[in-house]
Structure 1
């Protein structure tokens, strides 16, 4: 069961998100004819819009859950960077921690969609732009100084690493150490190098990431238990939360408690886009609001069950999360199964 007080505490919680801020740019057009230059469509431009992606999408999830968010990262001195900053500021996000880098373009994933007006458009191509080399020591120091000056205001830190060089090993360690020194919970989500965040409070590797980190296949619940326990010890976490898609999640805590939380609404999965961002956002929001790891994991699972029923990258609003939690609390049949 999730305490109703945890939900109310979300509205006072403050979370700092340090990560790769990505601009998801969508360009739509109406097909008019085939080009003479190559066998491709010529599109008449219809609309260009920017949505939050990567760490910025995690922030959008937090804000819509009622949490006050602080964005920390790097954007370019370009139109997409300005658009992304404006988008976050319009949602009430503190963007003082976003450093503008004149030689590092904003990470942008541009999707081109084609279709007649009023029809369902089809994606034609995706273009990714972003530098993956590590940020310079001077930029890393600026980020660390900002975090040290601001961390006293917040309740939790979330690291969102998409592999675009924001987290040199020395910076990642310094950030985790700073959170631990201040007694602030931290959550790590890293696509390629989770060990850099060893010592964080929790981490949320998915199935492929967990298999790669441990060298073990994850097929059964028992496999998941062993992998979660191995990761918890290897990464010196208070809890390893292994996300398993339709099989839910398996959590191993530092007190040797291991349990499974089944996936909710398994029969209504339409799109898993952005579900990982929702999980880490829900987990961190719960911890920032004073929830136990078990309560926070339940909250994250419930939030994810909402977004997977929709198409595209979406977020969970506070009111719908509250309704889903109340529905869950009325039905205790899906409580975690304690296995050891």
Structure 2
């Protein structure tokens, strides 16, 4: 594949927990007399689309048409997040405002200084993990069905903040039955809830929790374990990310291991899984083989982990990496 044009000629709805990522950066000027912590003089405040908003931004930045569905509060944080999505070119008509809950916001405190990158000191989360109230869930499902006829895939980004209820998952299956959309998910655990999805992605810890055992070190035994897990969750593709060891995948007919194409300096893993979800969804829509899809997702994730916070690779960046590493390493 010489370019990515056939990947981005698709429309994807990202459904899940919308999050506003806030970075408060400052220079350390002294130690506090009140506690053994640095005193920071704030230099800037940065807002970034997080949670399910991040794979949507990834899709739009690559050139695909991206929609997002989820819930924000009736607050400034919600307005800020919608503004970020609008500026990224993401359609937000399927987002529901719920005055009874805050927009999930993750505030990170970052110290600047003589570092190449800022030093992440602390994170404060403002959120409500309650499952959606029934009227809000009903409205979200209505908007999902309204959009489903316009998209090729629904990518579920589950951050376990209450949006992905059983009713919402049932609505995804109904949308596939009616419109033939592809169903993909970054499950963050609870794989059994997403039985029958076309693409199921999880990380090593989530896979091991589902299996009730560690993934074996021996390659053949590890692939057998991934095959067994795929059968348990009845997915067409199961992809398990392994950090710096790459990914393993299984389909009904085969399984394999795709190591990283290149070694990247890991600075911040935030958002790498979101980028992988976006790339796996596009790759599945484009008909790529699982090994090629995982290789492409590995390349993209390698860019993300070198940047502080969520980062959405550009089409040109990914094109250059693919040209330099056109096939999965052996």
**What RMSD over aligned residues (CA atoms) do the two structures have, in Å?**
2.3
Counterpart in the other structure of 1:326:
323
Distance 1:140 1:282, change over 3 A: same
SS of 2:148's equivalent in the other structure is helix
- Say which of 255, 258, 263 aligns to 2:255: 258
2:3 counterpart of 1:17:
no
Q: TM-score, normalised by structure 1?
A: 0.89
The answer to which of 113-122 and 221-230 deviates more is 113-122
SS of 1:70's equivalent in the other structure is strand
How many residue pairs end up in the alignment? 329
Distance 1:92 1:117, change over 3 A: same
2:44 counterpart of 1:47:
yes
2-side partners of 1:11 and 1:262: how far apart? 24
Deviations 1:137-162 (A, max 9, x none): 21111111111111111111100001
Deviations 1:190-232 (A, max 9, x none): 2132221111101111110000001121133234312221221
2:218 counterpart of 1:220:
yes
Counterpart in the other structure of 1:192:
189
2-side partners of 1:268 and 1:113: how far apart? 19
1-side partners of 2:93 and 2:74: how far apart? 15
Distance 1:229 1:11, change over 3 A: closer
Q: TM-score, normalised by structure 2?
A: 0.91
2-side partners of 1:115 and 1:266: how far apart? 26
1-side partners of 2:114 and 2:306: how far apart? 25
2-side partners of 1:106 and 1:246: how far apart? 33
CA contact (8 A) 1:10 1:65 kept: no
**How far does residue 108 in structure 1 lie from its aligned partner after superposition?**
0.6
CA contact (8 A) 1:156 1:287 kept: no
CA contact (8 A) 1:176 1:197 kept: no
Unaligned runs of 5+ in 2: none
2-side partners of 1:201 and 1:186: how far apart? 5
CA contact (8 A) 1:207 1:244 kept: yes
**How far does residue 169 in structure 1 lie from its aligned partner after superposition?**
1.7
SS of 2:256's equivalent in the other structure is strand
